[in-house]
Amino acid sequence: SPACTLAGVAKFKADGHKLNAVYLMDHEFGIKVFADEAFYAVKDTDQHKPQVTPFLLKRDAAAYAKNTGGKLATYEQALSEFQPASK
């Protein structure tokens, strides 16, 4: 899922590693997109992880966020939702 992928990226980066590429599936078109170039609809949930939905186009992410009560986010903003707790 996008949430699990971003949580893994956040942990990997927190451990000092660098990733060359991360892909996610666009919710609207069902195509692979580079995670760092995607736009996201992020919605807080009652669970420990927010619901994150990736999109190729900003307008699609904004419309989805508006319709689901979420917020529009960039890659870095979506990734920040998954920063590991300090050691």
Give 25-80 pLDDT, tens digit per residue.
999 999 999 999 999 999 987 667 789 999 999 999 999 999 999 999 999 999 99
Give the span between the Cα atoms of 74 and 45, in whole angstroms: 19
The per-residue pLDDT for 47 is 67
pLDDT at 86 over 60: no
Tokens, residue 68: 């689901």
Give the span between the Cα atoms of 52 and 48, in whole angstroms: 12
Q: Is the Cα dihedral 74, 78, 80, 83 positive or negative?
A: negative
Q: Is the Cα dihedral 52, 37, 25, 30 positive or negative?
A: positive
